[in-house]
Amino acid sequence: MKDKMIQILVTDPLSDAGISVLENAKIKVVVDSNANKQDLLKIVPEIDGWIIRSGTIIDKDLIHAAKKLQVIGRAGVGVDNIDLPAATQKGIIVMNTPDVNTVSAAEHTIGIMLSLARNISIANQRLNSGKWDRNNLVGTELRNKTIGIVGLGKIGREVMTRCLSFGMRVIGCDPYITDNIFSSDDVRLTDLDTLTKESDFISVHVPKLDSTNNLFDLERIKLMKSTSMIINVARGGIINEQDLAFAVKEGIIAGAAVDVFVNEPIEKDHPFINIDNILITPHLGASTKEAKEGVSVTICELVRDYLINNKLSSALNIPITDMNILKQIQPHLLLSERMGIIQGQLAQGAIEKVKVNVQGPFDDFKPFMLAFIKGLLNDRIPDRVNFINAELLAKERGIVIEYGANNEEGSYANLISTSVIFDNKERLLDGSVFDGNQLRLVNILGYDMDINPTGHLLFVNNEDVPGVIGKVGTLLGQHKINIGAYILSDSEKMDEAFAVIRLGSEVPSSVIELLIQIPEILSVQQINC
């Protein structure tokens, strides 16, 4: 944990339980939900973390101004209000809580679809104005109707499950899923045009991307049945607002229910205002007590764990999309990073080339390389490098990177082998994870070892003659430096020995100089990891 107090800015409403997670961790929480951009530009240079919902826009200017910012936490799913490329380029982790509000969003979808189908909102308005307009408010059943679900992620699947319980036929469109994921009894997968033409109801559940912006414009809306209706509880802008208003007013389609908008809150002259067959709600998809509490607590826990313990269990802008896999390989990522830290301290000159080879039951080897590079550059680019930007920063420094699988059978179930070349010298370091989470260095500079890569270490190379251990121990003792362990490894050279000394504290440079002056000592390298 850092000595300085961590500061987190909160600019959208969070539950008290979420705020308490941060405060209980001795984190300073700055809450300001009314700050404009100019105010934020003055605040953000001092913050380490920033937690938002959908109401705050974090653009490139704010990211550039946030000199210390390490993590942005989005309490919710969508991050189109965050300049993700700018954050990634600067090495800022962006986290969200994609699963917490899933049920709330799905239930809201069903709720407004039912309200739309049965004219509930219009009926309420007219009855409150004194009109008993029963004959003009004939609705339609959901049973035996076809719903087209655009995007079959977690929310889309929850909507699918609920629609099936109504006796609806479900067709889906999602370019990122394969046909064998769903039973044909549950959903028929098809292309977007076919879905648009065949559906009685269309529910949109895709992220806001360049490819989904104005996904439903007037041209596509005209493909829909005149009796059909469309629902959007995803992100504003996926359905073109002007085109949708025109289509409903002109009777091209029967109606729409919309919970999200391009600009929020909407203006009084928004094109959806006062159109009977367009039901609008003010971004209520995740607005349940359960969801608000859940996303608040979850994002605060994630941000806290990252800032205090460097524990990363959820992030959008990293090359691992499967968080289950991330959890499985996290010890190996930590080992890779520790090995990078050690290699970075061993490499005194300009690094020319890095090799990372991995042996073990892993499908993707790049995360190990990124973690290693992050550690390697840790002392060279303090407070800037992480495994998001590590590869880019290394290449900017002319470092050639090679990584992949080590297919040679060895003595270890998993093995991470690293090589760093600098000043035409190559330094080798191998590590392995034992029993699921026990980190070990198993080869250091060509010497077989068994070392936990943590704490204060001395790498000592000396002539293989009697008395060296005693001289080293005596000198360190004279300077009140406690030795935790003195681990020897014989060299293939009969006249040399290599030792790793675990210490209770860092060794002053003056003591290192005295150690080097011992006649039998060939080299001493202090390692802090």
Question: From CA 483, how far away is CA 112, in angstroms rounded?
Answer: 69
- Same domain? 418 vs 518: no
Please give the C-alpha separations between residue 185 and each of 106, 203, 457, 458, 497, in angstroms, as whole numbers. 20, 19, 62, 65, 70
Same domain, 269 and 142: yes
Active-site option among 53, 108, 162, 283 = 283
Q: Is residue 352 part of a domain?
A: yes
DSSP for 239-262 reads B-HHHHHHHHHTTSSSEEEE---S
- The number of folded domains in the chain is 4
> So what's the pLDDT on residue 65?
96
Please pick, among 141, 264, 402, 463, the residue that the annotation labels catalytic: 264
Angle between helices 468-478 and 509-516 (to 10 degrees): 150
- 167 and 275 in a single domain? The answer is yes
Q: What is the CATH number of the domain that holds 64?
A: 3.40.50.720
Clarify whether residues 64 and 111 are in a common domain: no
Q: What pLDDT does 389 receive?
A: 73
Query: What CATH number is attached to the domain comprising 395?
Result: 3.30.1330.90
Cis check for the bond before 271: say yes or no (omega within 30 of 0).
Answer: no
Residue 388's pLDDT is 63
Are residue 271 and residue 142 in the same domain, yes or no?
Answer: yes
pTM: 0.57
Q: Answer whether residue 272 is part of any domain.
A: yes
Alpha-helical regions (H) of 203-322: 218-221, 241-249, 289-309
Assess whether 64 carries a catalytic annotation.
no
> Could you give the CA distance from residue 251 to residue 276 in angstroms, rounded to a whole number?
12
Sign of CA dihedral 234, 239, 242, 246: negative
Question: Are 160 and 252 within one domain?
Answer: yes
Asked if residue 24 and residue 146 are part of one domain, the reply reads no
pLDDT tens per residue, range 373-408: 988 988 776 555 666 678 877 886 778 999 998 767
Shared-domain flag, residues 117 and 245: yes
- pLDDT, position 174: 84
Range of the domain at 338: 318-452
Residues 399 and 305 in one domain: no
Report the pLDDT value the prediction gives residue 2, as an integer from 0 to 100. Answer: 44
| Ranges under pLDDT 50 in the chain | 1-2, 321, 323
Catalytic annotation on 264? yes
Catalytic residue among 108, 162, 235, 304, which?
235
Alpha-carbon span 502 to 441, nearest angstrom: 13
Per-residue pLDDT tens over the stretch 94-116: 888 877 888 999 999 999 999 99
Q: Is 332 a catalytic residue?
A: no
Let me know whether 273 and 251 are in one domain: yes
Task: State pLDDT tens for residues 312-347.
Answer: 777 777 655 454 676 678 789 889 989 999 999 998
